Chains A and B, each alone.
Chain A
Amino acid sequence: EADIYQTPRYLVIGTGKKITLECSQTMGHDKMYWYQQDPGMELHLIHYSYGVNSTEKGDLSSESTVSRIRTEHFPLTLESARPSHTSQYLCASTRGGPSYEQYFGPGTRLTVT
């Protein structure tokens, strides 16, 4: 079982606000990921990190940014929220080989009004 946490679980915010979604894991996993998922749709990778000070953009273009200053912490920031950012954001991590299974946090459901 994974110990990976996300806060807040739900967020309703107005257009133009800056928001930070928090993700933390206590397993010492080097690799962490952010996915975006709309209701009934596929997960899309938006950011990933190999380790401290390593971040890359994923497959789905996103206006969000991430940072990885500590191994356990991988926050995602939106500088100016828009209604098109309304979605569920899922954080995941993996310990690595041999199978690289990823464990997910509970998610943050973001609504931008």
Chain B
Amino acid sequence: QKEVEQNSGPLSVPEGAIASLNCTYSDRGSQSFFWYRQYSGKSPELIMFIYSNGDKEDGRFTAQLNKASQYVSLLIRDSQPSDSATYLCAVRIPGGYNKLIFGAGTRLAVHP
């Protein structure tokens, strides 16, 4: 079992719809959770992080964390074609050097 699992996609949504991206993790001691956006050929860009159970909203983005279910999600409201990218889920596991474990990413395609 991978430490961080994401559906590879592609997830295809129409412009203006809500895109829902999901991520599960295996280490119950995981402490912080991150969503990065990566355009093809570019480096990952931090969108949001969350470390408490519940929802965290930032503009069109909402991160949701459920530690009991070991599940974190990202909702993108009013999806735009410019949101088309690969979304990486990352989890900070316990340890001295604050290591992040990345999922393989979900490719999102927003079509007009």
Residues in chain A within 8 A of chain B (CB atoms): 31, 41-43, 45, 48, 50, 56, 58, 90, 94, 96, 98-107, 109
Task: State whether A100 touches B104 (Cβ < 8 A).
Answer: no
Which of B41, B43, B100, B105 has its CB near the most chain A CB atoms (within 10 A)?
Answer: B43
6 closest pairs, A vs B, by CB? A100-B98, A104-B43, A107-B43, A43-B102, A99-B32, A42-B104
Task: State whether B46 touches A103 (Cβ < 8 A).
Answer: yes
Q: Which residues of B contact A101 (CB under 8 A)?
A: 32, 34, 46, 49
Closest residue of chain A to B97, judged by CB? A48
Cα A58 to Cα B95 in complex, Å, equals 13
Q: Does B99 make an interface contact (CB < 8 A)?
A: yes
Q: Does B92 make an interface contact (CB < 8 A)?
A: yes
Task: State whether B98 touches A107 (Cβ < 8 A).
Answer: no
Q: Which residues of B contact A100 (CB under 8 A)?
A: 32, 92, 98, 100
